[in-house]
Amino acid sequence: MLFLNYIPIVVSENRSPEAERDAISYWKQFRPGKKPLLGFTLVELLVVIAIIGVLVGLLLPAVQAAREAARRSQCQNNLKQIGLGLLNYESSIGTFPAGGDSETSLAWTVFITPYFEQSVLHDGFDYGTGSYTSSGKNELASNRLDVLLCPSQPVVTSILSQLNLGGTSAEMVNGADPFTTHYLGVMGPKGNNDYMSDWILYEVEGNAWSSHGGLAVQGVLGKDRSVEISQITDGTSNTFAVGELSWDEWTRYRSWMRGSTLGSGASKGFYMGSAKNLFTVINEPAEQDDAGNWIVSGGFNDAGFGSEHPGGTHFAICDGSARFVGENTELAVLKALASMNGSEIVGLE
């Protein structure tokens, strides 16, 4: 027996030289200090890839859910800031701002901009009588206010821009569409008050079944109405002020500073861009025909408040809080919360 680097190699007279070389090569790989050859087989590589795929499939929904939770929290915080802005305005002026002003055609959002640290923007507006398309009004709509935008909705500009709410001319600001808002005032409920023993309808100004849908008048942010807190007899904690309307099915995103149309005569101010009737349940649009045209039971002012957040949407409450309201909430409850003086006994859980 020979010893080659302490490796026992049996020499046999009957072995060929080739066999001896193979034996020596085999035993050399086990010499002290010699590292074994490492590597993946194809099967092992495929197994690792499969495991990684499973882990990604398990973790990705969790990551997406965490991101949506953060966006939802930011959206709720936006509405809380808006609600506090309305209360600060009320403390300063004595009333809430009108949801839309038919003289200046400006929205309630314009009047509370100082409470978003936008005093310079607020002071730049023209508050005189005239259309929002005039100089000093519409041109300021090119300013983006993130507090008016839901982070879960990628649409940030007006996607149905028109010169006036019922018109046909494209609205442009320096060659671009103006920024929109995903938060609209609640003009009030429209339809039957299901909490009354008698069949009583909520009050509506104008024709409730016209192309504009009429104007609910029992909410906090209506046309040409500046509401005092004392008028909210249902309680500030039980009354909606502003609702989120940021879901993809909504096709009437308007400029954030646009209130009501000027119009004339009986139609003056009847198309509201800044506030809507609460007419349907959450995440359900006003009715349309098969061609997508709005029909009489789905006027311009009627809206289904809703969002891209799973399960519901947000509302700013008149007490300065903001709440997430589930999409399974009954319409009767939603209408009661949209009313400031309907005498319904209902509240948020």
Query: Tens digit of pLDDT per residue, the chain (349 long)?
Result: 444 444 454 555 556 666 666 665 655 555 555 555 566 677 778 888 888 888 877 777 777 777 888 988 999 999 999 999 999 999 999 999 999 988 888 899 999 999 988 888 888 887 877 666 666 666 788 888 999 999 998 888 876 544 444 434 455 555 567 888 999 999 999 988 888 877 788 999 888 877 788 899 999 999 999 999 999 999 999 999 999 998 876 667 778 888 887 655 555 667 888 999 998 899 887 665 566 555 545 577 887 899 989 999 999 999 999 999 999 999 999 999 999 998 887 877 6
* CA-based R_g, the chain, Å: 33
Domain locations in the chain?
61-338
> pTM for this structure?
0.77
Q: Please give the backbone phi and psi of residue 228, each rounded to the nearest 5 degrees, phi first.
A: -90, 150
Select from 340, 343, 289, 333 the least CA-distant residue to 312: 333
Instruction: Identify the burial level of 162 via C-beta atoms within 10 angstroms of its C-beta, where 0-12 means exposed, 13-18 middle and 19 or more buried.
Output: middle
